[in-house]
Chain A
Amino acid sequence: GDSVTQTEGLVTVTEGLPVKLNCTYQTTYLTIAFFWYVQYLNEAPQVLLRSSTDNKRTEHQGFHATLHKSSSSFHLQKSSAQLSDSALYYCALSASNTNTGKLTFGDGTVLTVKP
């Protein structure tokens, strides 16, 4: 089956410094889309980024990610972390031959931005 790996369970960064959250995946399907979701405490996951195009940078709210099929990665980056970025971040994969398939989530990375 599909799998998504987020290597860091917890990332702490100082405000204003860059941050990178790692995400790699395994899938046998050809039709795939990738997402980064952010979940604040006691709230629903919200989509942050979406991509299905190889080697194309996707940006939203200061975050960016590039899907690299050659390395099976979709890392999330931000050049200057803000206190309000502190949250739980999930990388997720939707891979299905019908294109209406379930999301496979990584285990999540807790990002803490400190002053």
Chain B
Amino acid sequence: NSKVIQTPRYLVKGQGQKAKMRCIPEKGHPVVFWYQQNKNNEFKFLINFQNQEVLQQIDMTEKRFSAECPSNSPCSLEIQSSEAGDSALYLCASSLWGDTQYFGPGTRLLVL
């Protein structure tokens, strides 16, 4: 079973508000991924880290989304100005180098 911890489980924000969610990867996993799963259950990769360094990120992430994985602190994903279209389940996953990704339970964001 996955040991990835995500908080909060649910997040409700108004349009234009900041939304921040956190992830503690499985112990010993240096690679962390963020995905967005929309209401149609489609996955979209957002960003991934190797220790504290960004490996890949999509264009959308560079505009309103910011993420970090500081040393000895939870990783975080923040949406600077939430939009209705950001309502989704945000999943954090961690892995060893090039291995299976293990997912946390997700943060379900609702933007009103």
Chain A contact residues, CB within 8 Å of chain B = 31, 33, 35, 37, 39, 43-47, 50, 88, 90, 94, 96, 98-105, 107-108
B103 near A46 with CB under 8 A, answer: yes
A107 near B56 with CB under 8 A, answer: no
Contact among A44, A94, A100, A107 with B105 in the assembled complex (CB-CB below 8 Å): A44
CA distance A103 to B48 in the complex (A): 11
Lowest 4 A-B CB distances belong to which pairs?
A99-B98, A102-B45, A105-B43, A44-B103
Closest A residue by C-beta to B102: A47
B50 at the interface (CB under 8 A from A): yes
Closest B residue by C-beta to A52: B98
B103 near A100 with CB under 8 A, answer: no
CA distance A106 to B36 in the complex (A): 14
Asked if A102 meets B41 with Cβ closer than 8 Å, knowing A44-B104, A46-B103, the reply is no
B1-50 with Cβ < 8 A to chain A? 1-2, 4, 31, 33, 35, 40-43, 45, 48, 50
B79-108 with Cβ < 8 A to chain A? 91, 93, 95, 97-98, 100-106
A107 near B45 with CB under 8 A, answer: no
Q: In whole Å, how far is A115's beta carbon from the nearest beta carbon of chain B? A: 25
Q: In the assembled complex, which residues on chain B have CB atoms less than 8 Å from the CB atom of A102?
A: 33, 45, 48, 56
